[in-house]
Chains A and B, each alone.
Chain A
Amino acid sequence: MSRLGSHFRISRRGMFLAIVVLACVLPLLWTLLASVQILPDAIHTPPQWEFELSLDQYLEVGIVQPDFMLKVFTSLLVATGTTLLATTIGFFAAYSLARSRFRGRASVVQSFLVLACLPVISYLIPLSKLMDTLRLTDTITGIVLAETALYSPLAVYVLFGYFHSISIEMEESARLEGASLLRTLRSVVLPACLTGVVATAIILFVLSWNQLLIPLRIATPHVNTIPTAMIDFFTFERELDWPTAAAALIVSLLPIALVVALAHRALEQFSLDISHHKT
């Protein structure tokens, strides 16, 4: 009995975590229900649910229109391009910083975090003028370059932490045995921190997928990512109705939630800690 009792006893920790999980999930569940026209009516006591189950909102958002897949494809292309470019650039830069010794190195690394915090809005207008001059407005290349510049500082900061924490003995012995620098990077360094690199890449992918201002300002009308396509359903000028906005939210959330669910083992290793005593 006591065994059974302790098995079913809900600990305070369990209660606390259950509340946290519910708090995370319930607003999204409400949104999912609204997107299929299941709406609560809180005027009555007890509240009632109105069932008018329909998928019209998803049609309204345009998932069956031929250009919808094009928008998804554009978003994937932009987010993938940005992620690959920023992670690669960050990989080399962070490695160079992690294996150099100079005064003020810590400040240089930390200034990348400060740069990562700089809001896009403070340089958006000159950036869009520059894109005009370079004829990169309304191109996927333009968005990828701008977003790579936006997110590579964060990549440098995080990847520095991984390189800083792995021992350099393996690298040194590989070099002594005559392996070239690039070969050492590929066969020794990359395997040692692969999970960290993948986790960083996933974080950048999410940030890029949700980036609105850059594509909104330097792309459109021809190049549409999912956030710029969805903004139409989120503006109040258009008769905004909740079920349609909810459907747009679900449509833009699902792909990224899928990516994160598939990669969550790697993401659990994501670490912003770059201190020298990290274990």
Chain B
Amino acid sequence: MLTRRQQLLFLTPLAAILIPFLLWPALLGLFASFTNYDPYQRTSLQFVGLNNFATILRDSDFQAAIRNIIVFAIITTALELVLGISIAYALRRPFRGRSLVRFVLLLPWLVSPVANGVMWHFLFDPERGIVNFWPALVGLPHLPPPLSRGLAIFAVMAVDIWRKVPLVSFLVLPGLLAIPAGQWDHATIEGLSFYSRIRHIVVPHIRLLLLTITLLLIGDTLGTAEGLWELTSGGPGSETITPGLYSYARVLHTYDSQSGATSAWLIGLAIVLLGVCYMILSRGEIDA
């Protein structure tokens, strides 16, 4: 066991890096969202209360972003978990080449988010891409362009699912492999269906792991935007805009950093609230 001094000493390097380079800028950003602070203009700093928040909440782009992200996050996260668990389940028994499959599952995630956005932008091209190749191969008519009005949100969800489902299965598999073999034998004797195996064996054993993955998935969906910027830039219209993209575009491209930083802080707040839910749901899982 460590002495109190050793415990604190071991935490010092972490504090020394987190306080100046993460916590301090994050709090400064929060403070700035209540002022007229603008890094690109020299104006006298004034406290404006909740004005910045009121401005973006009135912005129709931001309203669309909120509507989109709710649908987007619920559908993609649910599908990513279900498909990811199913793939991991199919991989739980060893076979020749399983290691190679596990490596392949990491490939979509290895492509950087920006490159992924560009790649799918072109793969969705009706002529040069991958989507119309298959119907043309069997003589079916062309599909409507995936990034067109009404369809773009589903295309964007499909890209997110392509990127994250394999990663989820990669992360879930070690959890499944740690389930004692007796549990599976028991399930076979009882003749449990796939659904009841997942519900009564898998989920109770890897509850905390699943909650952890869920939080990471939602965090990534809410916060990252560079891939979406390349893929659709929020269009057509504002059909695929998300709060992350709204912040990204305003901070990096239109230099309206006040709205950008304010909406980014709302995302941070949403993540903290989800984090509290995760802590409540996983109570007792870490320390008995």
Q: How many Å lie between the Cα of A31 and that of B162 in the bound state?
A: 15
A66 interface hit (Cβ, 8 Å): no
Near A by CB (< 8 A), chain B positions 197-236 give 206-209, 212-213, 215-216, 218-220, 222-226, 230
Question: CB distance B22 to A150 under 8 Å?
Answer: yes
Q: Which chain A residue lies CB-closest to B128?
A: A39
Task: Chain B residues near A1: list those with CB within 8 A.
Answer: none
Chain A residues whose CB sits within 8 angstroms of the CB of B268 once the complex forms: 118-119, 122
- In Å, the complex CA distance between A132 and B275 comes to 32
- Which B residues touch A206, using CB under 8 A? 109-110
Interface string of B272-288 (1 = CB under 8 A from A): 10110011001101111
Q: How far is the CA of A121 from the CA of B222 in the complex (A)?
A: 11
> Is the C-beta of B56 less than 8 angstroms from some C-beta in chain A?
no
Q: How many residues of B contact A (CB 8 A)?
A: 109
**Given the complex of chains A and B, what is the CA–CA distance between A127 and B29 in angstroms?**
9
A106 close to chain B: CB less than 8 A: yes
Whether A272 and B267, one on each chain, are in contact in the complex, defined by CB atoms closer than 8 angstroms, is no
- The interface residues of chain A lying within 8 Å CB-to-CB of B285 are 106, 275-276
A30 close to B123 (CB less than 8 A): yes
Chain A residues within 8 Å of B104, by CB: 21, 24-25
Interface residues of B, dominant DSSP = helix
Q: Which of A123, A234, A240, A272 sits near B29, CB closer than 8 Å?
A: A123
Residues on the B chain within 8 Å of A260, using CB = 103, 106, 110
**Which chain A residues lie closer than 8 Å to B278 at the CB level?**
110, 113-114
Chain A positions 112-143 with a Cβ under 8 Å from a chain B Cβ: 113-130
Closest A residue to B125 using CB positions: A242
Q: Which residues of A contact B20 (CB under 8 A)?
A: 130, 149
Whether A113 pairs with B212 at a CB distance below 8 angstroms is: yes
Closest to A149 in B: B21
Contacts of B21 in A (CB 8 A): 127, 130, 145-146, 148-149
How many chain A residues have a CB neighbour from B under 8 Å?
A: 107
CB of A231 within 8 Å of the partner chain:
yes
Q: Which of B82-108 contact A (CB under 8 A)?
A: 86-87, 90-91, 99, 101-108
With A40-B133, A90-B14, A234-B230 as known contacts, state yes or no: A273 contacts B212, CB within 8 Å.
yes
As a 0/1 sequence over residues 15 to 38 of chain B, the CB contacts with chain A under 8 angstroms (1 = contact) are: 001101110111011001000000
Contact with A along B117-134 (1 / 0, CB 8 A): 111101101111110110
Establish whether residues A153 and B18, one from each chain, have CB atoms under 8 Å apart when the complex forms.
yes
Q: Quick one: given A117-B219, A123-B26, A149-B18, are A249 and B115 in contact (CB under 8 Å)?
A: yes
Q: How far is the CB of B19 from chain A (nearest CB, A)?
A: 9
Tell me how far the C-beta of B230 lies from the nearest C-beta in chain A, rounded to whole angstroms: 6
Q: Which residue of A118, A152, A264, A265 contacts B14 across the interface (Cβ within 8 Å)? A: A152
- Would you give the 0/1 interface string for A16-30, flagging 1 where the beta carbon is closer than 8 Å to chain B? 110011011111101
Counting CB contacts under 8 A, is A173 at the interface?
no
Complex Cα spacing A28 to B25, Å: 38
List chain A positions with a Cβ less than 8 A from chain B.
13, 16-17, 20-21, 23-28, 30-31, 34, 39-47, 85, 88-90, 92-93, 95-97, 99-100, 105-107, 109-111, 113-130, 145-146, 148-150, 152-153, 156, 164, 172, 181, 206, 209-210, 212-213, 216-217, 227, 230-231, 234, 240, 242, 245-246, 248-249, 252-253, 256-257, 260-261, 264-265, 267-279
The 6 closest A-B pairs by CB, nearest first: A119-B223, A117-B219, A114-B275, A149-B21, A96-B10, A126-B25
Chain A to chain B contacts (Cβ below 8 Å), 9 pairs: A20-B90, A106-B285, A107-B279, A117-B275, A122-B265, A125-B251, A149-B18, A264-B103, A276-B288
